Amino acid sequence: MPGLDPGFTSLPYRALGDAALQRARDLGATHADFRFERVRWQDIRVRDGALQGTADDQDLGFAVRVIHGGAWGFASGVHLTLEEAARVAETAVEVAKVSSSLTTVPVEIADEPVYDDVTWVSSYVQDPFQVSLHDKTAVLLDWTERLRRHDAVQHATAEVLQVHENKYYADLAGTRTTQQRVRLLPTFTAMGTDDRRGVFDDMASIAPPAGRGWEYVVGSPADGAWDWEAELAEVPDLLAEKLAAPTVEAGTYDLVVHPSNLWLTIHESIGHATELDRALGYEANYAGTSFATIDQLGSLRYGSPVMHVTGDRMVEHGLATIGYDDEGVATQTWDIVKDGTLVGYQLDRPMAHLHPELNDARSNGCAYADSPGHIPIQRMANVSLQPGADDVSTDDLIGRVERGLYVVGDKSWSIDMQRFNFQFTGQRFYAIRDGELGGQVRDAAYQATTTDFWGSMEAVGGPSTWVLGGAFNCGKAQPGQVASVSHGCPTALFRGVRILNTDDEGAH
């Protein structure tokens, strides 16, 4: 596994941190932290065997956050001099002084042990930024050319988004962390039409984004790479079948949901709903609140007894996985829903202090800022549905269904501001009849409330069905921030779920 990038470690972040923290101390800050970041992005896009565009970007700078007079202050800078570090600290203190007159409850943060000069690097083999643009583009071009050899595929696109993130954190308590992580999102889409029926549709890869390196794209599936060869071979036929598939009959069905679809339902109906800032109303003016309010902790029946959901920032290759968060907290794993009951939330240090009944009065490491110009906020951990102890297969779950649908791949979704009423579509819906998988049907979406849906979950698959899915683009806050997050889950069986025909619904 690679070590810290020398191009980052040669930067003067330690000296800048020392200067900023000393100035904050001199000005009377009761807490101060310094965060230095270099975040690099690269995006490559191709279509029909031709390069459409590439983009490279880098965000480099530092931030100082203080508590002074019982209020937060924050400022950031990009000039890497000791004088600028001190000036940014002074600005943060001035902001806190202005904020103190508007702060009704003095800001305090939960205690955390000191971690003196620790290092963490994510689990990957080959840094994608060390692979030539030519070689990466060649892979994507080959994907689109292979897809277009099939008669059903008229157009094909492919893309890979790569991120290399370095952070140095230091605070007045003595914690210093230096971290590095790599993540990437490779994907492709095949598009086609059935002119006779007037139908246009597409079929995309269900490969999840991952906290891995370039080996995820070109390595062996036995070593953790996605099986691109198998998927490229099957997607054109799947698209052809979907174009010819009959429309679904609306009604009530049992559902067997594959992890490539279920991860998104977890993200929207559990992940966001159990962010404590939402449950407390902090996001009410923008991204919404949550039906899972804190007065229901320990009593809310979130789902059926087979429902066990954890939060973590530790799972290997997780998109939200890190060693220490942006408040210097060592990351952890904890229960959010246990035996179907709400038992925990995602929280940061200020919220942990306000609610000592949670997580033994300690943050569970959920503070994150997506750039040095943004203040850390409470962000989603890797929120995952745990598999069953017995290794029940997807075929086993399908075999329990007389009349139902098997859902594969995510597509569009809609959910209300309290994360309660929702509907989700998918890449593919297959009919299930008498325990046997039939062909695809079109125009389907499943609709429910969060508690009804998870309450209808009769069984979960075993460990062999568990897949770590996720998203690169989870948005939150004002000014807006974007974070990446993973959601692991097994295949799961749900009874009596309402299915809409989206074509009929759209006509109204």
| Residue 180: predicted pLDDT | 98
CA distance 414 to 399: 30
**Alpha-carbon distance 314 to 325, whole Å?**
11
Each residue's pLDDT expressed in tens, for the chain with a length of 508 residues: 789 999 999 999 999 999 999 999 999 999 999 999 999 999 999 999 999 999 999 999 999 999 999 999 999 999 999 999 999 999 999 999 999 999 999 999 999 999 999 999 999 999 999 999 999 999 999 999 999 999 999 999 999 999 999 999 999 999 999 999 999 999 999 999 998 888 999 999 999 999 999 999 999 999 999 999 999 999 999 999 999 999 999 999 999 999 999 999 999 999 999 999 999 999 888 889 999 999 999 999 999 999 999 999 999 999 999 999 999 999 999 999 999 999 999 999 999 999 999 999 999 999 999 999 999 999 999 999 999 999 999 999 999 999 999 999 999 999 999 999 999 999 999 999 999 999 999 999 999 999 999 999 999 999 999 999 999 999 999 899 999 999 999 999 999 999 999 988 876 5
The pLDDT, as a whole number, for residue 508 is 57
Q: Decide if 85 contacts 32 (C-beta within 8 A).
A: no
Break the chain down into helix, strand, coil percent, rounded to 5: 25, 40, 35
Interhelix angle 13-26/82-100, rounded to 10 degrees, is 40
What single DSSP character describes residue 271?
Answer: I
Count of alpha carbons within 13 Å of 384, Cβ hemisphere only?
28
Q: How large is the angle between the packed helices 133-147 and 228-244, nearest 10 degrees?
A: 40
**How many angstroms separate the CA atoms of 133 and 380, rounded?**
32
Q: What's 136-177 look like in SS3?
A: HHHHHHHHHHHHCCCCCCCEEEEEEEEEEEEEEEEECCCCEE
Task: Single out the residue of 444, 445, 451, 405 nearest to residue 423, CA to CA.
Answer: 445
Cα separation, 91 vs 168, in Å, equals 20
User: What residue segments make up the domains of the chain, in order of their start?
Assistant: 6-244, 251-507
pTM over 0.85: yes
Sign of torsion over alpha carbons 107, 112, 118, 119: negative
In CATH terms, the fold of domain 6-244 is PmbA/TldD fold (3.30.2290)
Decide: 484 and 476 in contact? Cβ < 8 Å. no
Question: 337: alpha, beta or left, given left = phi > 0 and alpha = psi -120 to 50?
Answer: beta
Beta bridge partners of 41: 57, 163
pLDDT at 361: 96
- Residue 242 is predicted with a pLDDT of 97
Name the residue among 385, 382, 368, 336 with its Cα closest to residue 476.
368
Could you tell me which of 92, 102, 38 has the C-alpha nearest to residue 68? 92
Written in H, E and C, the secondary structure of 333-390 is EEEEEECCEECCCECCHHHHHHCCCCHHHCCCCCEECCCCCCCCEECCCEEEECCCCC
pLDDT at position 286 is 84
State the burial class of residue 172 (Cβ atoms within 10 Å of its Cβ: 0-12, 13-18, 19+). middle
Please give the pLDDT value at position 134. 98
Q: How far is CA 89 from the centre of its chain?
A: 32
Grouping H, G, I as helix, E, B as strand and the rest as coil, residue 443 is coil
